Structure 1
C-alpha cells in the first residue's frame, strides 16, 4: 500500500546532503536529563547529551541491560527509499519551528497548496528529529489508498503491529501503541480527511506519548491541532532550488547576473512552490531561460516531466492541481472556476459579483477553498481580508472555466462590478484615499476587464481605462498608459462622464510623455464635453486643460483656467477641493513669476490643508510654499516649509525628493554648499530608485540653479559632492541628513558690511579662486595675515570651509546686483 517507516538514524544513517552543517535556530534536549541544547543539522543526526557526564552515565545504563531487555530496533527494508537523493534547500526556519512545536503540541498538520513540498519537509523533519522518539518515526504514505477502511491497516503494517492486533484494526491499534513514544507521519490526508481525523483522535486519546504529524491540503479540524502552513519558498531559496536542479539537468548551463532576472521571474510566476520550480528547472536542458519565461502562460504543456519515482499526482503540475480539484464538491468547483477571472485577487464582494448568476454561499465556499489550500489570504490596505488564487491554480481553473462555457458570464459580471467601483470618479474633483486604495487593489482586475472590452465598442471601457490609468500613474508608471486611453477614446457613444474621465487622464498622460500639443487637444475636448456633466467633473477637465497650457509654457492661459476652476470650486464649498485647486493656482503663479498672486493664494489655502488627511498632498503644498519663498530669496521661510514637509511626510513618498532638493537649493544659496550638493545627489538617487517622474518645470529650475552655481564656482568639485549624495540609498537617512543638519540661520541676514573692508577683500579674492599666496601678493600682506582674516570671516559668518566662504560671497554679490 505504499507505506513505509523511517528507522532511527542509528540503524539507517541519513543520506548526506548539501548544507548539512548549516546552523538552525532551534534547540534539542539532552537524551538523559532533558536540558535544552542548541544544535546544528549534523548534531540532530545522532544521540546528543548536554555534557560528558550525561554521556558516560547513559553508557553505563545501556551496559547494564541484558540482551533481552534491550529495545529491538525497528528495521524496515524499504526505509532507504525515503532518504533523499538530492539536496534539500530552504525550509530551515520551518524545520526549526516544527521542532519547537512538538515540545508543546501532539498533533501538527503541515498544511499547504499542491506542490508546496509538504511531504519532503515532513521526511526531512523525521530524519532530523528521530532521536526525540525512542520508539521510532513512522511514515504512512496515503496517496495510493482510496479505501478509508485501509487507513488503520496501513498504520498497523508500518509500525509492524499487524500480527499483534485483536478484533478490528481500528479498535486494537490504540492498545498496541498505548505505551509507545513514537511519531506517526500521515502523509497526504486530504482525500481521506474524515477517516484520518477519526483515527488520529482515537490514537491521541488512548496513546499519551504518541505524536502525530499530518500533511494535507485540508486541515483535520480536531481540538488541539496545530496547523502549520507551508507556503512559497523565500525568494533566494526558490532561486537556489531552481539553480541546483537546473545544473543537475544541464551541467553546462552558466548562470550569471545577466540571466538572474529570468530565474527570479520563473520562480515568481510559479508562486515559488518547489514542485513547479523543479519541473521548470528540468526544462533548461532543452530551452533557454527567456524562452521558458515567455511560455509560462502555457505552463501545463511545459511542466510535465516529474521524477519517475514521484507519486502520480506529482508527475506534472496539472496532475497535482487536478487531484485537489477532484476532491471539491460541485459548488466549490464552480466558484473556483469563476474566481479565475480575478488575476488581482478579490474580496468577498467581488467574489460574489463574478458569481452573481448563481446562488452560492460565497463566504462559506471561500472559507472552504482556503482551508483546502486553493486560496491564499492577505489583508488589503484597510486591513480587511482579501484572497487570491495561486497562479498555477488560477491557470488550471481558467481552463476549466472555458471548458464549461462560463467565461462570458464571469467576465461580464467582473466588468459590471468594476464599473460600479470606479463610478465615483465621475462625481468628484479629486478621488478620496479610500477610492484610490480600492482602485489600486483592483488594478490587475481592471486590466483584465479593459482587455476584454477592447474592440467591443462598450461605453464602460473609457471609465475603466481611466481608472486603470490613474492607478498606474499614481505609482509613477506611464508606459503603455496613453495607448490604452487613446484606444478607449475610440469607443463611440460612451456616456459623457465616462468619456471625460478618460479624456482627462489622457491629457495628463500625454503631457507627462512630452506630447504637449496632443495634451492640449485632449484637454480642450475634455473641457468641452465636461460642460454636459456635473460641476466637479468640469473642474477636473479645467485642471487638465490648465496643466496642458502650463506644459506649453503658456502660463497666462494656465492661470486663467486654474482661476476659473477655483471660482467654480468655491461654489461647491468643499474646503479640501478649494485647497487642492488653490494649490494648483499657486504653483502656476510661481512658474509665471507672479509671486504676489502665489503668496496670496497660499495664505488662503494653507489653513484649509490642515483638513486633508493625505500627508502626500500636504507635503506637496509645503514644497510649493518652500519653492515660492526660495524664489523670493526668503531662505528662512523656504527652509521652514521644506523641513516641515520632510518631518511630517512619509520618507518613501514621491514628494520626498522634491523637498530634499528644495533643502539642497537653500543650502547652495546660504553657504552650506557641500551639504546642499549632497542633498541634490541623494534626491536624484531616490527618485531613480523608485522609477518616479519629476515635474518638468521643477527639474528645469533645479538644473538652472546648479548650472548657475557651476558658472560662479568653476573650480569647485561639484560632481564629487553630488556623487556622495547619490551613494545614499536609504530615504530615512537622507531625510535625517536634510532635517537635522543645523542651518546657518543668521546667514541670510549677514551682508558684506558685517565684516571689515580688508576681510571683504580677502573673501572676494577667495571667491575668485585665488590661493592664500596669491592673495598675500596682491594685497601686499603676509600669508599668515591672510589666514587670520579668513579665520575671522569664518567665525563671524558661521562658515566651516573656504568653499563656504566663496559661495557666500558669490550669493551676496548676486543679491547686490
Structure 2
C-alpha cells in the first residue's frame, strides 16, 4: 500500500457471517443506488425473507465509504420504546455520564460524523424509530441509515425497497437441467444448507425435481428454506417434498387474512414444532422467553421442572440446535444459545398457549435477581472481571427482568438494580442504571435496608453525572434510614459519598472528615469494599491538601487491601491516586509506571472513565518531562475520550487545575499552531490507538524498537504490517482473519511472526509499535 493512502478500515460492529451469503446481486446494487441518492433506505418484506442479511451485506461492502464507521443496531430484543436512543448510543459505544437525555447525547455524537447506521427489526417500534431517524437525519447531515422492517417508517426522504423472495425456476416450466439450476438463488441456498446438514448431499438428476418443488412450495423464503434443509438428516428430498406439499395443500382456505408467504413460513415453523418431541416443544416455548442469549445454567434454572428434568436440558438444547431452532454461539470461555426472532415469537405464542407466560416470567425474574446478587458479592474479588463480562452478555435479560419487576414487584427490582451497580458504572449503561433506580425508588417507598442501599448506589451515579442536588437529597435519606435501622453499611456509604460531594465542590477538609467516618464504619463491620473505595478518595483529598506522606500511605494501604482480595478494579484507581501524588513529588518515571500499570487494568475492564484518568495523568507527566508533542497528542485524545464519557474529569473535578496547567504549558511550548497539530493528531486516533500510544514508555526506554522504522527497513511483510495495524485497532485474531479474508489459523501465524521478528511478548507491544510506526493505521 502506498504511503499516504487512507484506505484504513473504519470502526464498526458488523457481525461476522455465520454462513455463506447467497445471491441477491440485483438487490445489493439497488440498495447501493438508493443510498447514493437518499440518506434513508428501508428494506421491507415478510419475516424470514432475508432483510437483515441483505442490510448487513450492503453495510459490509460500503464500509470503507464511511470513515466514522458502520454500526449495526439490533432492536429485536428491545420492547421499551423509551430506551431506543440509549440502545443506539450503547451500540455506538457512547459512555455519557452527564444527566443529559440519551437522545441529546446521541444527536451530539452523530452531528459531525460520517457514519452508516443499520437499524434492524423496527416494526414493533415503528413510530419511535421514525421519530428517532427523522431527528438524526435533520441534525447529522453526513449520517446515512438503512432500516429493516416489515413496514416502512413513512417519513420524508425515505426510499423503500421491498425485498423479494429468492429467485426460483418458473413453475409453469419443467425443472431446468442441473447446470442451469445454479442461477436460481433459492435452489443454491437449499443445496448449500443441505450439504452443511448432511455432508454427502449433492444435487443430482434423481433429487433435483424434489429440490425445486421444495423451494417452490416454500416461496423462495430463505428462513423457510434453511429450516427445511435441516430435515434432510432424517428425510430424503423426495419425502420432504411430499410432506411439505401435503401440509401446504391442507392450508388452502385456512386463515384467509394472512398473506400466502406468511402462511408458508408459519406452516413450516408449525411443522418444525410438530416434528419435535413434547419435551423439545416445551423447552422451545420456555427458552423463547429470554430476551437475549442464554447459557446452560440459565436454561437449567428457568426452563426445567414441570415436565422437563434438569438433567435433560443439555440433550434438549442439542436436539434444538440440530433442528435449527437454537443457534450456538462460542464466546471466549463459554457457549451461549440464541433464537432467530421469528422462531422466538412463535415460541412465545406457544408459551401463552401452554398457560406458562406468567410462571416463566417469575422464574426468569428470580433467576436474574439471584445472578445480580452473586455478581455483587464478587465486586471485590479475583473473578470480578469475569462477572463484569457476564453481565454484559446478560444485559437484554437483566433489562427484561427489571421491566417485569416494575410492573408487579418493585421491591425485587430495587434490589436487582442496586446489585447491578458495577454493571452500570463500568459499561455503557450508566444513564440507564440511574433511570431504573429512580423508577424503583419511586415505586418501592417503604423504609428498608434495600431502599437505603439503593439510595447511596444511585447517589454515586448522580455524582458521576454532576447532579449534586439529587445526590445530596438521596444521601440525606440514606443516612436517616441507616440511623433508624441501625444499618452501619448504609451509614458508611452515606458518609463516603457525602465526601465525594464535598470534594466535588473543592471542600477537601470536610471531605476528609467524612472519609474518616466512612473508614471507621466500614472497618467496624469488615467491609473491605467500602474501605478500599474510601482509601482511594481520602488519598486524593490529602494530595489535594498537600499532605504527600498521608496520601501515599493511604494509596499503598488500599493496594494492600485490593491485593489481599484479588481485586483489580479498585486497585486501578488506587494506582491512579498514587501516581498523581508521586508525580506531584517529581518522580515522573515511577508515576508513569504506576499509571501504565493502572491503564492495563482499565483496558482489561473496559473502563472508559479509568482510561481517561490514566491518559490525563500521563499527559501531565509528559509535559513535566518536556515531551510537549506527546502531551499535546494525549490532550487531543482526551478531547474525544472525555466527550464519550460525558464531561471532562467526570466525578474528579478537583483535578481540573492540573489539566488546565498542562494544556497551558504545552500550548506555550509548541505555539498555537504546533499545539493544534499535535492535539488534532491525537483526536484522530481511535481509543485503541490512543491507549497503545499512552502505554508506550518514553525517552530512552521507548519500547517500539526504533530501528524497525516503517518502510524498507521494517522486518515485517506488508501483510504483517496490515495485521499489526489491525491489532492496534483492538481487533481479535478472528476479526483480523475476517478483515483480511484469510483463515483464523493464518491470522494467528501472522501475529506469531510479528512477535518473533520484533522481539515482543504481547499484543499490546505490537499495538504500541503500530501506533508509532503506522500512525495512519496502515502499513507503510
TM-score, reference length from structure 1: 0.53
1:350 and 2:298 equivalent? Answer: yes
> Displacement of 1:16 after TM fit?
12
> Displacement of 1:673 after TM fit?
0.8
Structure 2 residue aligned with 1:377: 328
Contact 2:231–2:323 under 8 Å retained in 1: no
1:547 and 2:508 equivalent? Answer: no
1:400 and 2:350 equivalent? Answer: yes
- Structure 1 unmatched runs, 5+: 1-14, 21-75, 99-107, 113-117, 127-134, 146-184, 201-213, 216-299, 307-311, 746-817
Deviations 1:564-583 (A, max 9, x none): 22233334557676444322
In the aligned structure 2, how far is the partner of 1:616 from the partner of 1:301? 60
- Residue 742 (structure 1) aligned to one of 699, 708, 712: 699
1:441 and 2:393 equivalent? Answer: yes
Structure 2 residue aligned with 1:152: none
1:78 and 2:175 equivalent? Answer: yes
In the aligned structure 2, how far is the partner of 1:370 from the partner of 1:733? 42
In the aligned structure 2, how far is the partner of 1:301 from the partner of 1:511? 58
In the aligned structure 1, how far is the partner of 2:444 from the partner of 2:469? 23
1:662 and 2:617 equivalent? Answer: yes
Q: More deviation in 670-679 or 627-636?
A: 627-636
Structure 1 residue aligned with 2:317: 366
Contact 2:320–2:326 under 8 Å retained in 1: yes
Deviations 1:200-219 (A, max 9, x none): 9xxxxxxxxxxxxx99xxxx
In the aligned structure 2, how far is the partner of 1:476 from the partner of 1:462? 20
Deviations 1:432-462 (A, max 9, x none): 6154444333322121122112243542120
In the aligned structure 1, how far is the partner of 2:195 from the partner of 2:583? 64
Change (3 A) 1:387 1:490: same
Change (3 A) 1:331 1:734: closer
Contact 2:197–2:230 under 8 Å retained in 1: no
Structure 2 residue aligned with 1:601: 554
Instruction: State the SS of the aligned residue for 1:341.
Output: coil
Structure 2 residue aligned with 1:110: 196
In the aligned structure 1, how far is the partner of 2:374 from the partner of 2:590? 39
Instruction: State the SS of the aligned residue for 1:378.
Output: strand
> Displacement of 1:360 after TM fit?
0.4
Structure 1 residue aligned with 2:536: 583
Structure 2 residue aligned with 1:261: none
Deviations 1:336-365 (A, max 9, x none): 222222112223332233345513033332
> Displacement of 1:369 after TM fit?
1.6
Counting matched residue pairs gives: 503
Contact 2:327–2:339 under 8 Å retained in 1: yes
Structure 2 residue aligned with 1:329: 277
Contact 1:347–1:385 under 8 Å retained in 2: yes
Contact 1:516–1:552 under 8 Å retained in 2: no
- Structure 2 unmatched runs, 5+: 1-22, 29-172, 215-224, 242-254, 703-780
In the aligned structure 1, how far is the partner of 2:458 from the partner of 2:587? 38
In the aligned structure 2, how far is the partner of 1:644 from the partner of 1:328? 54
- Residue 141 (structure 1) aligned to one of 167, 188, 210: 210
In the aligned structure 1, how far is the partner of 2:659 from the partner of 2:639? 12
Structure 1 residue aligned with 2:416: 464
Contact 1:591–1:697 under 8 Å retained in 2: no
Change (3 A) 1:324 1:611: same
Change (3 A) 1:189 1:620: same
Change (3 A) 1:731 1:457: closer
1:482 and 2:434 equivalent? Answer: yes
Instruction: State the SS of the aligned residue for 1:479.
Output: helix
Change (3 A) 1:526 1:341: farther
The residue correspondences of 1:399-548 to structure 2 (distance < 5 A) are: 399-424=349-374, 430=380, 433=384, 434-456=386-408, 458-468=410-420, 470-492=422-444, 496-531=448-483, 532=485, 535-536=488-489, 538-548=491-501
Contact 1:340–1:395 under 8 Å retained in 2: yes
Instruction: State the SS of the aligned residue for 1:487.
Output: helix
- Residue 340 (structure 1) aligned to one of 283, 288, 295: 288
Q: More deviation in 687-696 or 330-339?
A: 687-696
Change (3 A) 1:347 1:513: same
> Displacement of 1:704 after TM fit?
1.6
Change (3 A) 1:614 1:449: same
Change (3 A) 1:464 1:77: same
TM-score, reference length from structure 2: 0.55
> Displacement of 1:657 after TM fit?
3.1
The residue correspondences of 1:134-283 to structure 2 (distance < 5 A) are: 138-139=207-208, 141=210, 188=228, 190=230, 193-196=233-236
Structure 2 residue aligned with 1:627: 580
Contact 2:649–2:656 under 8 Å retained in 1: no
In the aligned structure 2, how far is the partner of 1:186 from the partner of 1:398? 21
Change (3 A) 1:664 1:410: same
Change (3 A) 1:479 1:742: same
Change (3 A) 1:724 1:194: closer
In the aligned structure 1, how far is the partner of 2:647 from the partner of 2:299? 33
Higher relative contact order (CA 8 A, sep 6+): 2
In the aligned structure 2, how far is the partner of 1:188 from the partner of 1:528? 64
Deviations 1:77-110 (A, max 9, x none): 512697366779999xx97xx9xxxxxxxxx842
Q: More deviation in 691-700 or 635-644?
A: 691-700
Instruction: State the SS of the aligned residue for 2:582.
Output: helix
- Residue 632 (structure 2) aligned to one of 660, 665, 677: 677
Change (3 A) 1:670 1:585: same
Change (3 A) 1:664 1:633: same
Contact 2:518–2:534 under 8 Å retained in 1: yes
Contact 1:426–1:537 under 8 Å retained in 2: no
Contact 1:429–1:536 under 8 Å retained in 2: no
Contact 1:623–1:642 under 8 Å retained in 2: yes
Q: More deviation in 689-698 or 411-420?
A: 689-698
> Displacement of 1:522 after TM fit?
0.8
In the aligned structure 2, how far is the partner of 1:355 from the partner of 1:187? 24
Q: CA RMSD in A?
A: 4.6
The structure that has the greater radius of gyration is 1
> Displacement of 1:598 after TM fit?
1.4
Change (3 A) 1:138 1:512: same
Deviations 1:510-545 (A, max 9, x none): 222221011011122223334537655654444333
In the aligned structure 1, how far is the partner of 2:387 from the partner of 2:231? 43
Structure 2 residue aligned with 1:708: 664
Change (3 A) 1:696 1:84: same
